[in-house]
Amino acid sequence: MKNVYGMNMQKLEDYFVNIGQKKFKAIQVYEWLYDKRVSSFDDMTNIKKDVINSLKSDFTMDKLKLLTKKKGKDVCKYLFELHDGNKIEAVLMYHDYGNSLCISTQVGCNMGCTFCESGRLKKVRNLEAYEMVLQILQVEQEEKLRISHVVLMGIGEPFDNYDNVTCFVDIVNHPKGVALGARHITISTSGVIPKIKEFMNYDKQVNLAISLHAPNDELRSKLMPINRAYPLKDLMVVLKEYIKRTNRRLTFEYIMLKDVNDSEKEALELAHLLKGMNCYVNMIPYNETSHIIYKKSSKDNIMKFYDILKKNRINVTIRREFGSNVDAACGQLRSNYEEGK
């Protein structure tokens, strides 16, 4: 049985037409789900009983189970259990511009990035669209606040789960759904070229972020195995085409790893790689974990790297550090829970 929170408007309209009802009932259902936030089909009081019975026989409204949450300064991390016992994470970050939620898109991850806790526990399955939507709804309910921005940067590679991710975006972007503006949604990919090409034709102005983390093929292939399948030279061609086709600015994420990718040499290479592109670099201080040998770059090295990019006219920001005291490295809370810590 399908979960109703995984139905985008088109699918729900098609459902009502197929059972002999008017498709406007889909809007009524959305209003109950996302505006009034009811927890039972029986609470949808302006929908006839026979239609309610059809909904109850064809859909569930099952929620995720919140196992634990850890709060820190300006951050809160949630561990959810899915219907099959698998576990995922979401991280709420309080910014001056609003409340941003980082959500998971898969149980585990097959990308195998050497610095990432998520990849240490391999992909079990893709998340369904409803399991992504519910991360937002349940955090909002738990904290009694409104999520203003969503980033798909939690456990998983979103473009390895493309159809469910775009269905999720349809739901949360719809004005009768969660009603998040497309420009308040960011999808992060490690560089799945075929799906980036497909995403060029997606009809919503969602932000795209690229997990780069190295400015040359040799280093990037060591850090990120996906680079062996989709090397930088091919990736950059596609990204320049993406910018040209969509007129959207790209974000490049760059985790700062001590004595690995944080030298003056790498900064200059990165500036050369990105020269002339409509983009900016988001430098990310590394969240260390007990399972992985990498260490966070020193503040001095981070600032030197930043200054080199600035001098070479690359737009760059340094992300605030969030959650080092709440197991906020991607996949860390889940792996610690699974391993009995």
Q: Are 133 and 80 in contact (CB under 8 A)?
A: no
Those residues whose C-beta lies under 8 Å from the C-beta of residue 18, and which sit 6 or more positions away, are: none
In whole angstroms, what is the distance from residue 285 CA to residue 209 CA?
Answer: 17
What tokens does 67 get? 């196992």
Helix ranges (H only) for the chain are 9-18, 25-30, 49-58, 129-143, 162-173, 193-199, 217-223, 226-229, 232-246, 264-274, 299-311, 332-338
Residues known to be catalytic: 89, 330
What gap in Å lies between CA 263 and CA 259, rounded to an integer?
A: 7
Q: Cα dist. 202→167, 236, 241, 246, 336 in Å? A: 11, 20, 14, 10, 37
End-to-end CA distance of the chain: 35
Spatial contact of 229 and 184, defined as CB atoms under 8 Å apart: no
Contact between residue 122 and residue 109 where contact means Cβ atoms under 8 Å apart = yes
Give CA–CA dist 52/44, Å, rounded. Answer: 8
Say if CB 112 and CB 331 are below 8 A apart: no
> In whole angstroms, what separates CA 140 from the centre of its chain?
17
